[in-house]
Every structure is written in C-alpha cells, then in structure tokens.
Amino acid sequence: MGLSRFLLIVAACCALAPLAATRFRPPVTIREIEKSFVAGVITLAIGALAASQTYDFGVFAYTHLLYLLAVVTVPALLGGWYVTAFIRRRRTRLVNLGGALAIIIALLGVWGTHIEPNWLATEIVAVTAPVDQPLRIGVLADMQTPNIGRHEQNAVDTLIAEEPDLVLVPGDFFQGSVDAIAAETPAFIELLTLLTANVNVVAVVSGDSDRPDELKKIVEAAGALYLDNQITDLTVEGQPIRLAGVSVFAATSRLDTIASLVEPSDAFTILLSHRPGVVYDLPVGSDVDLIVAGHTHGGQISLPFFGPPVTFSKVPRTLAAGGLGLVDNYPVYVSTGVGLERLQAPQVRLGVRPSIGIIDVFPASVG
C-alpha cells in the first residue's frame, strides 16, 4: 500500500474515532467534546507512528497528513454529526453550521486536489531589454511528473500555439523512481521532440527532482540543448543571445559559469536556473539581462490577501508566488510551473494554477 492511501485511511479513522466516541451524535456536553478530542488525538498519534515506522516519513509526509486532516477528517467529522442530527431531528444552529462547513471544506479539497492542478493557465509578461527586435520566450517549468499524460501534453501544445522564438525549461522535468522514469523515457523524448520540431531553440537545465544523467539523455535524444553549467552563443530571429544555464548542485563548473557572466556582452544575456535564488550568487556587475527560473510552484497553496505561506526560495515571497520582478536590479521571471511536488507531498494546488510562461521581450527604446 502506498503512503498516500495509508495516510488517507489514517485521516478517515481520525474522523471515525470521535464519531464513535459520541455514539455518532453531536457532542452536547464538555465531557463529550473531550471524549471526541481524545479519541481523535489518540487515533492520529497511532496512525502517524505506524506511518513513520512503515514509510520513509519526511517533512512532506507530515504536510500531506495535515492536508488530509483538513480536507478529509474535518468535513467527515462535521458531516457525520450533521447527518446523525438530521436523522434524529435534533439539528441546532451549531450543527447546521458544521454541516455547511463540511460541504465547503470538502469542495475545497476536491478543487485543490482534482481540478485546479489540471487547470492550466498561460502567463504572459513583458520586459524591455537590449534587443534589436521583439523576442518571445516560452517557459515550461516543473512538469515534475513520473509519466506523460493529458495535462503535460496540453501544456506543450498550449506553449507551441503561442509561437515562441525559443523555449526555456528550468528543470524538474520529471520526478519518480529510476525504473518508472526509464519506462517512460520514450514518452518524455517524444514530448520534448514535439517542442524542438516547432520551436527554433529549446534549452533545458536540471532541477531538484531530475537525475542529470537521465535528463541529459532525454534532452539530447530530442534534439534540445542541455545547458547544465554551460554558456552558449545563439542567434534567434537575427538576435544574438548569450544563454547560460546552471544546475542546482554545487560544482566548480557552476561557479565558473556564474563568474563568467561578469564579462560584458553585446548579446542579450539570459541566465536559466531551476532556483530563482541564483540571482544572489551573481557577482556584482554581472552582465545579465534576464533570469528565468521555476522551483517554487507559486507555493502550490496561496492564501487570499497573503499569498503562499511557503515557497522554499530566498527571493521575496511576492516574486516566488510567480511572475516577473526585480531583484538587485536583475529582471527575474519565476514560473508557477506545470506540475506538482510528488512522492510524499500532498498533490494539491489551491489558489495557484499551473502555468506555461510567455515572456515578451521588447527593445528598450520601444518599452
């Protein structure tokens, strides 16, 4: 049994135990409330202990459990009390409120788990730069999937339809076991080949979930550029471009690549990195006109009037939420990405739609 299913069972039991403790009736006394609370806490403790002993339990697994407690346990418990009160014709305002909350929370759970993660958006931003003519850059970030499905295909088709002059892929192209990715490699190559067949230049760097050797084989088989810790000079639609790509892993070649960007260039210079925090690694005076990154997924959960509580990035939270911003006077674009954090994490997007990015670059004199 997988971890997700096990945690779902734990969350369901955490609702069933308090219901049983009150004989499936809404608690009406302090003692009954205490019994419900204790029954739920004991069930949760036993379930969490069993999960930690059975699976490799990390921070994402605890987050997954908390999410299930919020969208499964709470609505199941409140809904159970409402149904029994309805059958017994003993509804009160408090019970009715609980029933309404159960429906709202359950719907949010369905939305965040099954609908919004597949509701692809196209984010279009504009930036001025030292270019001779307009340039359209497509961004395909964080597919982070063990297999190619309808959602990933839709992302690539949508990106091609925007007719970009070049496409940048800032890592986390896949996520899964060695065997799973090996079995799906032909599908990954086919999808990336679709991009290279329709776009002049497609460049890829590795991310946290990628295994660089495997990714490099996929990228090269598809005819794309693999740019981990490399700089290449290109001409796209007559525009000279200096394109640098860096990996997330510490290496001398990574430091050398970043250091080389101090050298001035007449070409439009783009730094492609999985993590947007690379902006803080640039030496003072680096000749970089645009940084393109992913990694944050926009936080995957964004709260109204607050934004994402967690982004796992050094850049300001408002930028990590996705979009274009300035950091130390460098334009940085952060994509919310196409996919989700997999493995132990809750596969949820709430308030943060997946997206492909379009960066329209205009000559500074026009902007």
> Does the domain formed by 121-363 have CATH 3.30.70.20?
no
Distance of alpha carbon 73 from alpha carbon 44, whole angstroms: 10
User: Other CB atoms closer than 10 Å to residue 284's CB: what's the count?
Assistant: 6
pLDDT digits (tens, 9 = 90+) for 155-192: 999 999 999 999 999 999 999 999 999 999 999 999 99
Q: What are 246's two structure tokens?
A: 């860096």
Q: What are 248's two structure tokens?
A: 């997330």
- What are the sequence ranges of the domains in the chain? 3-116, 121-363
pLDDT digits (tens, 9 = 90+) for 257-296: 999 999 999 999 999 999 999 999 999 999 999 999 999 9
Q: Are the C-beta atoms of 353 and 335 separated by less than 8 Å?
A: no
Report the chain's mean pLDDT, rounded to a whole number. Answer: 94
pLDDT digits (tens, 9 = 90+) for 25-78: 888 888 888 999 999 999 999 999 998 888 888 888 888 999 999 999 999 999
What pTM did the predictor assign? 0.92
pLDDT of residue 367: 43
pLDDT band at 91 (very low <50, low <70, confident <90, very high): confident
Specify burial of residue 347 (Cβ count, 10 A radius: 0-12, 13-18, 19+): middle
- Predicted confidence (pLDDT) at residue 4 exceeds the cutoff of 70: yes
pLDDT of residue 250: 86
Window from 37-46, 86-95, 240-249 with minimum mean pLDDT: 86-95
pLDDT band at 328 (very low <50, low <70, confident <90, very high): very high
Nearest to 174 by CA among 357, 6, 340: 340
**Alpha helices (runs of H) in 162-228, residue ranges in sequence order:** 178-198, 212-221
Element (H, E) at 158: helix 150-161
Specify burial of residue 98 (Cβ count, 10 A radius: 0-12, 13-18, 19+): buried
The amino acid at residue 146 is P
Nearest to 28 by CA among 76, 71, 84, 72: 84
pLDDT of residue 27: 86
